[in-house]
Each structure stands twice: as structure tokens, then as C-alpha cells.
Structure 1
Amino acid sequence: MELIAKATAVVGGTVAFIRRLGSPSHQAFGATPDIPEAKKQGIMTLKMPAAEGWKDGRLPTCAPGLKVNAFASGLDHPRWIEVLPNGDVLVAESKEQAGPPKTFMDHAAQATMRRVKAIGKSANRVTLWRDADGDGTAEIREVFVENQNQPFGMALVGNRFYLGNTDGIRVFDFAVGDTALQGEGEKLVDFKPHGHWTRSLLVSPDQTKIYAGVGSLTNIADQGMEAEEGRAAIWELDVATNDARVFASGLRNPVGMAWEPVTGKLWTVVNERDGLGDETPPDYLTSVEDGGFYGWPYSYWDRIVDDRVEQDVQKVANSTKPDYALGGHTASLGLCWMPEGTLPGFGDGMVIGQHGSWNRSKLSGYKLIFVPFKDGKPSGPSRDILSGFLSDDEKLAYGRPVGVTIGPDGKSLLMADDVGDIIWRVTAA
């Protein structure tokens, strides 16, 4: 495997260098992005920095007026965060558990992912962190639940705690203040595992529904649409009846979700397809309508057809254009609504954890960004909140942003970093 990793790095670096010579000079960002024409790649671009972590006192770079500290450290690939009503912070620690590679490209992709610790043995647990003295650093750690199946999303409704494992949603009895779940819980919904494995959860404002993001198995339905049934979608679970249904579809990999308070609409960030170029198509932030279809795998953005896919003309015609492009392959995963007054200098808007690319010649993402909103819609260019996760030569990743949420005090952000194995806390300087 080490030999394959080295060979992949050499070949991938050469391919990336050649493609970088003709790569776009701009990112496809905003409500009206300039998306370059698709260029099919015979060999997928594979470019991944090595996992370095934070050494010698290095910290992420903050926007002016902000500061950052480690709220919790020494985790094992922290991915997602849930803050409980009493201020306890839950962190899902898990990673992709890749199956046996079938092709040379599978071997190469897995070797690339291992460079940044993106695949391997999963901790399969949720830990609870408590900052009892209120100094912004957690000093109490408890194992909240373990022996799960790639746990990710978490949600609390009353005295019922919902956990999004890769193979479905499980519910447990829970009282706020407890430091661990008891028993095995009850499985309510089955999801197909593998592929895009994360299962984010979000409770509706009225506490009657839970929404779950379920990504596709493959890039562009490479194994047929039957294998993708129930995937590339956001699901809705009725809390009272436990009935579950697909709420919206055609979303290749919807991960973070958040409620926009002016319109009351559900928003999500979506990772788009690979193999068409550095900026084509862009990942995106979009509002999500009940019954909406957003193009995958047949088309992207505003009904731009992907001719690698056997087409469904009616599906394309009925697809919805996303609201806001986030740049090609930025791997935008984390999402939360941040109201004005949370951080100085920032108004209402969405905060997005961009995990960072592995499949383009010039790396993108590797930031925590803010998209301003007005009247329920994005209202301007994005701004960096945290950056500096990547070395200048793109060879080292100090960290990779994932889940993000408002801190217990309402005046901070918490962000999971699955390379640094840290939960960062951002506050006013």
C-alpha cells in the first residue's frame, strides 16, 4: 500500500501539474458563478496534502477582531458537533471505512485519502465534553456512546436522542445532564451504507420532524440508478409516527443543514461530481423545497447536462437551480446559521466548513467561511473566518474543517478539525 501511495503521489502530482497550467484563474462562487466548460478527465486528478497537524504552537488564521483556541483536543477524527441545552458538547468521532479496492483507480484514491487520515479504522463513538469552569476549554471528557457504525449526525427532541449512523437512524432515551447513553437504542430508519457515508441530522423548529442527509453511492450513478435508490437525498422523519420519506432528491452529497429564520426554509451544502475539471461543477449552498429535485446525476447547476450519464430529459427540465456556488471541489460539509451579534464584524448569515479538495490541480477549500444573508437570501461575497489550514506549497494539511455550530454561550463558534483532531473555538478577540 505504501508503494501505491508513493506511485500515486508521483503520477497524481504530474497530472495535477499539467492540468494546473490550464486551470481557471477564478473560482465559481456566488449566485451567478462563471462555471468553465466541462473537460472530461481520462485519469481523475488526485492531489492530497499529507496530514501534518498543528505543531510548535501553530494556530489557524483568524479574521480581524477574532481569536481561536482549542476547546477540546486529542480526539480521533472528530467530524460533527451537537451542543446540548445544558452546554455539554457532543462530538462524533468516525471516519470512512473503505471496502476492498476493485480497480487501480480505487487503490490510488484510497492511498491518496490515507495521506490525510481520511480513511482507516473508525473510532465509532461519540464523546461528551464539558467546560465546567466556563473558561472556553473543556476539562471533562466522557464516552457518550460507542460501538456505533460510523456515527455522524445527532439530534435531541425532548428526552429522545437521535443518532445518524451510516446504516440508519437510531434513537435512545436520554435526560439532559447525563454523560452517557444507556442501552442499544432502537433503530428507526435504514439507510444504505458505503459511498458517501455521512448521515447529518437536523431537527425542525417545531420539533416534529428530523431531516437527514444521505449522499450518493458513486460519482455519477456509475453502478446504475437502482443502487442509488434512496440516496443523494434529504430524508424526513416524523418524530411522532417514525414514518420516513425522501424530502428532496438529486443532491449528490448533502451534508450540513441549517434553518434560515426569515423564511423558515431548510438550507444545505452539497458536494458536486468529479471528473469535469477544477471548477466544474461548483459545490453549492441552497435552500431545499419539499419534493424538489436538484439535478444529480443528469445535470448540474442550471440544467447543464452531464453527457457521461444516460439522460432523463424530464428530470433535467424539472430540476431546481441552486442558490449559491461555493467553488469547485471545496468539499463544503459543515453548515450553521449564525445570527448577527455572535461574532464582531459579522451580520446574519451561514457559516460553512470547507473540508478541502483532493481532486483538482490547485487545492481549494480548507477554510471556515461566512456567507452573508439578507431577506432570506445570500447577499454578497463570502468572507474567511478561519484559514491557514494548508501550507503555502499545498503539501501539508495542518487541519481540515468539518462540522460547525454555535457555541453554548451564543457568542462563539465551535468547529471540528479532523486532521488536527481538535475542536476549535472562535470568539471575539
Structure 2
Amino acid sequence: MTKPETRKAAARFVIRHLFIPSSFVIRASAFIALIAASSLFAEAPLAPPDADWHQDAPGVRHKITLQDLPAPYATKSTSNSPREVRRPAGAELRVPAGFKVEQYASGFSYPRYLLTAPNGDIFVTESNENSVKVLRDTNGDGKPDLTETFANSGMNKPFGIAFYPPGAEPEFLYVANTNGIVRFPYRNGDTKARGPAEKLSAELSGGGLLRGGGHWTRDIAFSRAGKKMYVSIGSLSNASDNAAEADRARIFEFNPDGTGQNVFAWGIRNAVGIKFRPGTNDLWMSTNERDELGEDLVPDYISSVQRGGFYGWPWFYLGNHQDPRHKDKHPELASKVLVPDVLVQSHSATLNLCFYDGAQFPAEYKGDIFAAFHGSWNRERRTGYKIVRVPFDKATGKARGDYEDFVTGFVTPEGNVWGRPVGITVAKDGSLLFSEDANKTIWRVSYGK
């Protein structure tokens, strides 16, 4: 199907399937008309900067710029947690033309992080059970028929996991607990850990740097050559700057054994996901920004991470925009605040991300980012609950600055939610897998089959 045909299909989906409250009819209708007319142009139209789930459909583009930012408190802040429900009968997820989405696995307690092993096994962290599971497809039908518990001791709210050393023959599986890093001996094909959890250095596993409380997830990644380890830790609070925030809201750099602590980047409220761009030493992050400044402040973001970079939290955001709760504090830092590469609809709850390095999807997807949006709990007009694609300019190798909906449909016409994406990984066959923790399932997106 051509790109114009894809855009027309997206328009038809919006017309047929989206529930539009009367207050949004005019704006939504105009937006639908833009989608339908976009076959005349090279790209699909942009959703409005204050869009919500009603505008979501595969192929719909979003681009938030600094010029779109409202003033703090322009709108009220709302506590609006979604009502999570079972998947309704007949509810189907939507993907771009040529793609197929199907349930991959179910029956989990709390599936969060996903990781593909060199041999193709899929590792899943069950954070609430303090366990890591292994899924294996033994007959090649695209679904796992073997599930084993790799480890269920020595962990405390595990989230991020990574193999070490990077490459085809890892020797350990590292696990990022909420209060430290442990590693299990591993060889390709293992479905059970070869030994007990080994705690890394005291500063990591003694409740020092990675102490609990507040944002509890920790992600972990290794540099291309495996010489350095990177660990993200979110803030304790929403936007405080008291002593309890020391060594929080940062990405740390360590030696692989947990020694040699260094602050790699700071002022990052909650980098839930960190990943290296394949073939490079470019670290990227997906970050949840602060709350209580309004419906459309502050945008979450997906961005490359600069060594020594300061990203503003808690005093500033997105450049030298000062948080009014910290008026006149640290003026010397205002000019140092970095602006992230891709701004994301506020309160989307951007969780994990991965780079598409498979061979199954069309060539235009190669090297792009896929990210899981868990969805808002603090926005009157809900947003998120989807998988998005972050396109890269193939000529420059840089993110274009926009993102587009890839998998949508987790919100019912009544506004209830039956899926909240969390983890995401590229399977060995090039398909895309993602977990969601509302109905505790894992989904698979494939192309051309």
C-alpha cells in the first residue's frame, strides 16, 4: 500500500472508530479532513499540540515545539486516573497498513521490561513478583511455547535488564533493582540462572545511590564496547529541590563491576528508558517530566543524552523556562539547560524505547525509535496508551523532531483503558514486541505476513 493509501486508511479509521465528544466535534472533524486530504502531500498532517487520544490513529504525526508551550497554570491540573478494564469483546488494536498485530503471550503478573537474548529468547521482568522470566518459541510460529522462571531471588522491584558483555556471547544478565544492581551468570540458551544473584559494589547495592522511594524504576545499558555501564534513577519527588534529591534525577556511569561512579547527565526527572543507538556510543533516553503546571506542561521527551548535560529539573524545563515553584533560583544554570531532541505530549508517561535494528519492517523504519506510552493519569483529556515511532532523517542521522502513532486502540469509546504499554524490544525475526500491564499481556507486531 502506498503512503497516500496509508493516510486514507488512517482517515477512514478515525471516521469509523473514534468516539468524539460534542465539545471536540468541530476540531476533530477538521483534523479528519486534513488526514484525508494529506494524500496530496509528502507527509500526513500534524495533530494539534494539545491533542488527546481521540486524535490517535496509525500514521498520525505529532510535533511539539517550544513555541507551543503554554504558560504555567494556563489550565488546571487534574487527577484523572484511567479506569482499567478487561479487553472488550471485539476490541482490536490498529497498526499501519501492511502490518499485523496479535497477542504474543499472556498470564503474567506484572510484565514490565522486555529484552531479546542473542539466541532469540525473550526475557521479561515481573516487577511485582521480583522475578525474571524467559519465553522461547521452539516451533517457529511466532509465539512462545516455553516459559521458564530464570530467577526469582535476590531482586527488589526489578525493571531494566541487560546482557554483558554486549554481543553474541554474554556471560551475565544484569538486573536493575530499585535499590541496586545485581547480576546472574548466563550463557546463551540458559533458561535458569547458573548461580545466585551477585551484588555489585556497595555504593550501588547498599541503598546508597539507588535508594528506594519516589520513582522506583531503574534502567541499565552498556556502552558499545562494554567498558562502561549506565544506570538511570528518577527523582524522589515531583519537583522538589531538597536534600532528599541528592543523587536522584540522574544517569550515572560506572565500570561494569559497579565501581568508578560518575554523573553522566543530570536534571532528568525520570529517565525510565535508556538505550544506545546500535553501532554507536550515542545514549538515548525516554523521560517523564513534572506535573501540576497544567494540561500541556511539561512535555515528556525522547532525546540523545549529552555527557555532562543538564536538562533542567527541578528549576527549569526545556531550555531556560523557569519552573514558577522555584522562581529566581539558580540563575547561573538558565543558559546551560539543554533542549531535548523530541518533545512528547505532556503526561503521556513515556516509558521504554528501542531502536529498530531488524530486517522485517520496510527499510524506512531501520534505525528509528519505537517507544511505549503508558498513558496519563493527571490530564483531563487523556493521552498516551500507545506505541509510537520516532523517525530519523536518514541523511543526517538525527531525529526529525516529530513522532507518529504506530499502535493505537487501547482506549474504549467510553474512555476506559484496557492496555498500558511499558516494555518494548525487537525480536530476532524482526518483529516488534511490547508489554502492557493493564491486562498483563505481550503483543507482537509483524509486517507482510
Q: TM-score range by the shorter chain?
A: 0.7 to 0.9
SS at match of 1:74: coil
Q: Distance in 2 between matches of 1:86 and 1:139?
A: 16
Does the CA-based 8 Å contact 1:336-1:351 persist in structure 2? yes
2:49 is matched with 26
**Residues 1:386 and 1:76: Cα distance change in structure 2 (over 3 Å):** same
Matched, 1:51 2:64: no
Moved more, 259-268 or 269-278: 259-268
1:174 is matched with 186
**Residues 1:36 and 1:241: Cα distance change in structure 2 (over 3 Å):** closer
- TM-score of the superposition, structure 1-length normalised? 0.82
1:248-259, aligned counterparts within 5 Å? 248-259=265-276
SS at match of 2:135: strand
**Residues 1:185 and 1:240: Cα distance change in structure 2 (over 3 Å):** closer
Does the CA-based 8 Å contact 2:343-2:401 persist in structure 1? no
1:227 partner letter: A
Cα deviation, residue 31, structure 1: 6.4
Q: Distance in 2 between matches of 1:27 and 1:257?
A: 26
1:282 partner letter: P
1:150-169, aligned counterparts within 5 Å? 150-157=157-164, 158-169=170-181
1:27-426, aligned counterparts within 5 Å? 27=50, 30=63, 32-33=65-66, 34-39=68-73, 44-56=77-89, 58-94=91-127, 122-147=128-153, 148-157=155-164, 158-181=170-193, 182-188=195-201, 189-190=204-205, 191-221=210-240, 224-239=241-256, 242-261=259-278, 264-309=281-326, 311-339=329-357, 341-344=359-362, 346-374=365-393, 375-379=396-400, 381-394=402-415, 396-409=416-429, 411-426=430-445
Q: Distance in 2 between matches of 1:93 and 1:145?
A: 10
Q: Distance in 1 between matches of 2:318 and 2:334?
A: 11
**Residues 1:315 and 1:382: Cα distance change in structure 2 (over 3 Å):** same
Cα deviation, residue 347, structure 1: 4.4
* Paired positions, count: 376
Task: Give a deviation string over 1:58-82, Cα, whole Å, max 9, x none.
Answer: 3321121111122221111111011
Q: Distance in 2 between matches of 1:250 and 1:266?
A: 16
Identity %: 37
Aligned CA RMSD, in angstroms, stands at 2.3
1:185 partner letter: E
Q: Distance in 1 between matches of 2:88 and 2:180?
A: 37
Cα deviation, residue 55, structure 1: 4.1
Q: Distance in 1 between matches of 2:85 and 2:304?
A: 36
Tell me which structure has the larger Cα radius of gyration.
2
More helix by share: 2
Q: Distance in 2 between matches of 1:304 and 1:401?
A: 30
Question: Structure 2 stretches of 5 or more lacking a match?
Answer: 1-22, 24-46, 52-61, 165-169
Cα deviation, residue 346, structure 1: 3.1
SS at match of 2:71: coil
Does the CA-based 8 Å contact 1:262-1:376 persist in structure 2? no
Cα deviation, residue 25, structure 1: 5.8
Question: Structure 1 stretches of 5 or more lacking a match?
Answer: 1-17, 19-23, 95-121
- TM-score of the superposition, structure 2-length normalised? 0.79
More strand by share: 1
